[in-house]
Amino acid sequence: MLEHENYLKRAIELAKLGLGNVSPNPMVGSVVVHQDKIIGEGYHQKYGKAHAEVNAIQQVLENFTNAEELLKNSTLYVTLEPCSHFGKTPPCADLIIKHQIPQVVIGCLDPFESVNGKGVEKLKAAGINVITGVLEEECIDLNKRFFTRVKQQRPYVILKWAQTEDGYFCPADGDQKWITGEEAKRLVHLWRSQEDCVLVGKNTALIDNPQLNVRLVKGRDPKRAVIDRNLDLPKNLNLFDNSLNTFVFNATKTDLENKTTYIGIEDFDHFLPQYILFQLYLQDVQSLIIEGGIKTLQTFIDAGLWDEARIFTGDVNWGEGKKAPHIKGNTTEKYPIGKDKLTIIKPLNS
């Protein structure tokens, strides 16, 4: 079993290379092993393109003249159950059967209804020895975004904010004032490149005039979202520059104007976080970062609709101002980012 775990660990490493590029698909990695040697590797690189198993098998076919014979005596390792249905690409289970790979080791099953257990059944029906549940927790955590979307019909929600040593979020007058250093800013831009959408409230949009894009690192820009109940925000803000797809959650208008989608929500006073997350789910948004402000963050916290909080604590004390959101959970990680500290908190019931 330890041998299986070592190869699955490599497959997990490969899968992570797809972060930010495969949503709303899961990240998947795969390796082909022949006589204790990896002869093929692959991962799902881009949404709509070849899956991990296809790329791993293809590498074997390209690199070995006796590839077909090698595959018939190999084990294929994959972090997620091979698909058994026609989607953007043909079923991976069929490809494995075609090449007569005798053994497949799977990290975790795919919760998606069209796959869930059916890939394993198809492989077993073809006489392939299938082993499941190797590094299962790690493989589920790898695709926490995908699992949340499929099982809960909402995006995976990441809360992000910065606060002072003495717990303040912003000055009492609400003006913009930086708390963290350059290292933290770069890390936030990296996070944006890895997730599907970034959400802010009206006051944050008005005071900070954020672009909510990726500038300090290389990577793809997320979609943007803002809560503006009465459509009070001026159109000259960066959010409305039509450089990125932007959702505006409001109480009066449902329309599409260039790259700005206005989504009307009838009842803003009840279940607002639930409505927002469901609408984003319908837009194939698999993960969401909420970057402020205090009211928006606290609304999602109070609704219990968050999966992870990433809190920077700056090396400053203000003595006064508006207090940071109040959150309860389990601290899972804590480490320095430049002169600042980053704390990762997960919900108590996770």
Q: Return the active site residues.
A: 53
Q: Is 24 exposed, middle or buried (0-12, 13-18, 19+ CB in 10 A)?
A: middle
The tokens describing 39, both together, are: 């002869």
Residue 108 annotated as binding site: no
Q: Is 178 annotated as a binding residue?
A: yes
| 208 marked as part of a ligand binding site | yes
Q: Report strand pairing: 255-257 vs 223-227.
A: unpaired
Q: 83 among the known binding-site residues?
A: yes
Tell me if 224 is assigned to a ligand binding site. no
Tell me if 228 is assigned to a ligand binding site: no
229 assigned binding-site residue: no
Q: 24 with 149: CB under 8 angstroms?
A: yes
- The verdict on whether residue 215 carries a ligand-binding annotation is yes
51 is in an annotated binding site: yes
Annotation: binding site for Zn(2+): 51, 83, 92
Annotation: binding site: 51, 83, 92, 162, 178, 192, 204, 208, 212, 215, 291
Annotation: binding site for substrate: 192, 212, 215, 291
Annotation: binding site for NADP(+): 162, 178, 204, 208
